[in-house]
């Protein structure tokens, strides 16, 4: 699966997804782009976007873009929280479909 990691996500999360083809927004040179243009560029190149932006699904028409979005709800953008949901994140990546949004939450 081709995964894009949003600029708001700790880029070290990439190491947790080593079985996938993963790029960060920074690696793609898209840091300066707002969500809509970034998603339009990403949709043909990636299967899923990994983000912590909980409002993205309400601000964008994801069903028309054809890219799945996984929203990781972490209390802080720190690796320990991503590690805590690694299993759930992997399961979400196996399930995600174009235009779908899946939330992965840290149990506190």
Q: Name the domain count of the chain.
A: 1
Query: Does the pLDDT of residue 62 top 80, yes or no?
Result: no
Share of the chain above pLDDT 70, in %: 96
Query: Does the pLDDT of residue 68 top 80, yes or no?
Result: yes
Res 58: pLDDT: 79
User: Model-level pTM?
Assistant: 0.91
Res 59: pLDDT: 76
Cβ-Cβ contacts under 8 Å for 38 (sequence gap 6 or more):
25, 30
Range of the domain at 97: 2-105
Res 108: pLDDT: 55
Res 55: pLDDT: 82
Residues 1-10: pLDDT tens digits? 999 999 999 9
d(CA 106, CA 99): 23
CA-based nearest residue to 13, from 90, 101, 102, 91: 90
């Amino acid at each position: 699966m081709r995964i894009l990691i949003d600029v708001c996500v700790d880029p070290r999360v990439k190491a947790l997804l080593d079985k996938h083809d993963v790029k960060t927004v920074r690696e793609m040179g898209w840091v300066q782009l707002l969500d809509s243009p970034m998603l339009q560029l990403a949709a043909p190149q990636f299967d899923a976007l990994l983000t912590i932006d909980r409002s993205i699904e309400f601000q964008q028409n994801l069903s028309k873009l054809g890219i799945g979005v996984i929203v990781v709800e972490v209390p802080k953008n720190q690796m320990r929280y991503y590690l805590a949901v690694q299993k759930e994140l992997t399961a979400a990546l196996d399930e995600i479909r174009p235009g779908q949004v899946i939330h992965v939450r840290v149990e506190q």
